Amino acid sequence: MPDFKHNFFQRKNKSFGPRYNRRINSSEVQVIDSQGENLGILNLQDAITKAKNEGLDLIEISPNAKPPVCKIMDIGKYKYDQQKKANKAKKNQKKIELKEIKLRPVTEVHDYSFKIKNAQKFLSKGDKVKFTIKFKGRELQHKNLGNELMDKIKADMENIGKVELQPKFDGKQMIMVVQPI
């Protein structure tokens, strides 16, 4: 009886990185030499031989082209350059965070101004700010206080940010999200 279990659960090898030398699937390839000159369309074996004569590898740069574009260069150097490019792109990304500022409908003027100052600082750094007004007990009967407070926040934020998510009730709290302009 054949052993189907063994073959069924065998892990398939994924190839990481570009195909090079004998791993290239096409019979003909467009070849660029190590100096950057286009050598035209060559047979795969001829292209690999040219690369080996120079002591380098044939690397598939653009596998989706017809025929695939390959370059003669060192595979180690190519992988290193790709990793450096990826790290540089990752470093230059700006990660936008969502900062939350919690208020109550009966927040005093000084506390309000302090929290608005912090919100403006967050927006100037490029982060989004989520304003949350929590209602407790009988405060839920005075939803108009929350609406007035949100309108006041909108007015104070209009020069530095714009409202992304309009004020809405979520259970016993009211939320609004402001993003930088």
Report d(CA 26, CA 120) in Å as an integer. 58
pTM, full prediction: 0.52
Whether residue 22 is found in the same domain as residue 81: yes
When computed from its CA atoms, the radius of gyration of the chain, rounded to whole angstroms, is 30
pLDDT digits (tens, 9 = 90+) for 133-152: 999 988 888 888 889 999 99
In this prediction, residue 102 carries a pLDDT of: 94
Report d(CA 80, CA 146) in Å as an integer. 56
C-alpha dist (Å) from residue 34 to 37, 56, 59? 7, 9, 11
pLDDT digits (tens, 9 = 90+) for 85-126: 989 888 877 777 899 999 998 889 999 999 999 999 999 988
Whether residue 118 is found in the same domain as residue 169: yes
Q: Does residue 93 belong to any structural domain of this protein?
A: no
Q: What pLDDT band is residue 8 in, cutting at 50, 70 and 90? A: low
Domain count, the chain: 2
Whether residue 76 is found in the same domain as residue 127: no
Position of tokens 């936008």? 96
Q: Does residue 1 belong to any structural domain of this protein?
A: no
In this prediction, residue 141 carries a pLDDT of: 87
CB 128 within 8 A of CB 164: yes
Position of tokens 């208020």? 103
CB 59 within 8 A of CB 71: yes
**Is the previous residue joined to 67 through a cis bond, with omega within 30 degrees of 0?**
yes
**Weakest mean pLDDT among 64-73, 90-99, 159-168:** 90-99
User: Domain span at residue 81?
Assistant: 15-85
CATH of the domain at 66: 3.10.20.80
Report d(CA 21, CA 159) in Å as an integer. 59
Residue 179 has pLDDT above 70, yes or no: yes
* Burial of 132: CB neighbours in 10 Å, binned 0-12, 13-18, 19+: middle
